[in-house]
A and B are shown apart, each in its own frame.
Chain A
Amino acid sequence: MTATIATTPSPAPESTLEGHGQPLIDKTFRWILFAATAVGIVFLAVLIVYVTLKGLPRLTPALWQNMPSIRNPDTAGAQSAITGTIWVMAFTALTALPVGILSAVYLEEFGNAKSRFQRVVDINIQNLAAVPSVVFGILGLAIIARAFQLGQTVITAGLTLGLLVLPVVIISTRESLRAVPQNIRHGSLALGATQWQTTWKQTMPAAIPGMATGTILALSRAIGEAAPLLLLGAVSFISFNPTGPFSAYTTMPIQIFNWTKDPREEFQILAAALIVLLLVLLLAMNAVAILIRNRTQRRW
Chain B
Amino acid sequence: MSTLAQATPAAADDNPLRQVKARNGEKVIKALLATAAAVSVATTFGIVISLLVPSITFFSEISITEFLFTTTWTPLFANPQYGVLPLIAGTFVITIIAISVAIPLGLGSAVYLSEFASSKVRRTVKPVLEVLEGVPTVVYGFFALEFMTQLILRPIFPGIQVFNALSAGLVMGIMIIPTVASLAEDAMSAVPGGLRDGAYALGATKRQTALRVVIPAALSGIVAAFVLGISRAIGETMVVTVAAGLMPNLTLNPFEGMQTMTSYIAAAASGDVSTGSIEYQSIFAVGLLLFVITFAMNALSIRLVRKYRQTYQ
Residues from chain A with a CB closer than 8 A to the CB of B197 are 12, 15, 17
- The main secondary structure of chain A at its interface with chain B is helix
Docked Cα-Cα span, A178 to B6, in Å, equals 12
A127 touching B19 by the CB < 8 A rule? Answer: no
Number of interface residues of A (CB under 8 A): 118
**Interface residue? B169 (CB, 8 A):** no
The stretch that binds A, out of B76-84, B153-161, B188-196, is: B188-196
Q: Which of B3-49 contact A (CB under 8 A)?
A: 3, 7-13, 15, 17-19, 22-23, 25-26, 29-30, 32-34, 36-41, 43-44, 46-47, 49
Residue in A128, A132, A142, A260 whose Cβ sees the most chain B Cβ within 10 Å: A132
A56 nearest CB across to chain B (Å): 15
The stretch of A59-67, A220-228, A239-247 in contact with B is A220-228
Pairwise interchain contact A142-B284, C-beta atoms closer than 8 A: yes
**Docked-complex contact A227 and B262, CB < 8 angstroms:** yes
Residues B265 and A9 in contact, CB atoms below 8 Å apart: no
**B-side interface size class:** 35 or more
- Contact A37 to B112, CB < 8 A, known contacts A21-B205, A110-B30, A256-B138: yes
- Which B residues are CB-close (under 8 A) to A279? 135, 139
Asked if B168 lies at the interface with its beta carbon under 8 angstroms from chain A, I say no
Identify the stretch in B66-74, B206-214, B249-257 within 8 Å (CB) of chain A at 4 or more residues: B206-214
9-residue interface stretch from A68-76, A86-94, A207-215, A267-275:
A267-275
User: Is A286's CB under 8 angstroms from B134's CB?
Assistant: yes
Expressed in whole angstroms, the minimum distance between the Cβ of B265 and any Cβ of chain A is 5
Q: How far is the CB of A165 from chain B (nearest CB, A)?
A: 11
Residues of A within 8 A of B204 (CB): 18-19, 21
| A5-B193, A44-B132, A235-B270 known; A127 vs B295 contact (CB < 8 Å) | yes
Question: Are B237 and A26 interface neighbours, CB within 8 A?
Answer: no
Q: Is A280 an interface residue (CB 8 A)?
A: no
> CA–CA, A143 to B287, complex, Å?
15
B142: A residues at CB distance < 8 A = 51, 256, 260, 271-272, 275
Known contacts A113-B10, A190-B17; A126 and B115 CB within 8 A of each other = no
CA A182 to CA B1, docked complex, whole Å: 17
Residues of B close to A3: CB separation below 8 A: 2-3
Q: Taking the complex as formed, is A158 at the interface, i.e. its CB lies under 8 A from any CB of chain B?
A: no
CB pair A103 B33 closer than 8 Å: yes
Q: Given the known A-B contacts A37-B125, A50-B147, A261-B242, are A134 and B237 also in contact in the complex, defined by CB atoms under 8 Å?
A: yes
Q: Which A residues, 165 to 209, have Cβ-Cβ distances below 8 Å to chain B?
A: 166-167, 170, 178, 181-182, 185-186, 189-190, 192, 194-196
- Residues of chain A from 4 to 23 with CB closer than 8 A to chain B in the complex: 4-13, 15, 17-22
Partner of B111, one of A33, A163, A195: A33
The minimal Cβ–Cβ distance linking A152 to chain B, given in whole angstroms, is 10
The answer to whether residues A130 and B298 also contact, given A142-B284, A283-B131 and a CB cut-off of 8 A, is yes
Chain A residue numbers with a CB within 8 Å of B115 are 11, 13
Inter-chain CA distance A21–B237, complex, in Å, is: 47
Q: Does B50 contact A (CB under 8 A)?
A: yes
How many angstroms between the C-alpha atoms of A138 and B200 in the bound complex? 53
B2 touches which one: A6, A133, A141, A226 (CB < 8 A)? Answer: A6
Complex CA gap A45/B135 in Å reads 12
Q: A34-B112, A120-B41 are in contact. List 14 more A-B contacts (CB 8 A).
A: A5-B193, A6-B3, A21-B204, A21-B208, A40-B174, A113-B13, A121-B37, A131-B298, A143-B46, A163-B43, A224-B139, A230-B241, A235-B270, A260-B142
Q: List 19 A-B contacts (CB under 8 A).
A: A6-B1, A29-B207, A30-B207, A33-B112, A36-B107, A44-B131, A106-B36, A121-B38, A127-B299, A132-B236, A135-B290, A137-B266, A138-B284, A139-B50, A143-B50, A195-B18, A224-B136, A227-B137, A256-B136
Which 10 interchain pairs have the tightest Cβ spacing? A132-B235, A36-B108, A224-B136, A142-B50, A17-B200, A102-B36, A106-B33, A227-B237, A33-B112, A113-B10
Residues of chain B whose beta carbon lies under 8 Å from any beta carbon of chain A: 1-3, 7-13, 15, 17-19, 22-23, 25-26, 29-30, 32-34, 36-41, 43-44, 46-47, 49-51, 53-54, 104-105, 107-109, 111-119, 125, 127-132, 134-139, 141-143, 145-147, 174, 177-178, 181, 188-189, 191-194, 196-197, 200-201, 203-209, 214, 228, 231-232, 234-238, 241-242, 262, 265-266, 269-270, 275, 283-284, 287, 290-291, 294-295, 298-299, 301-302
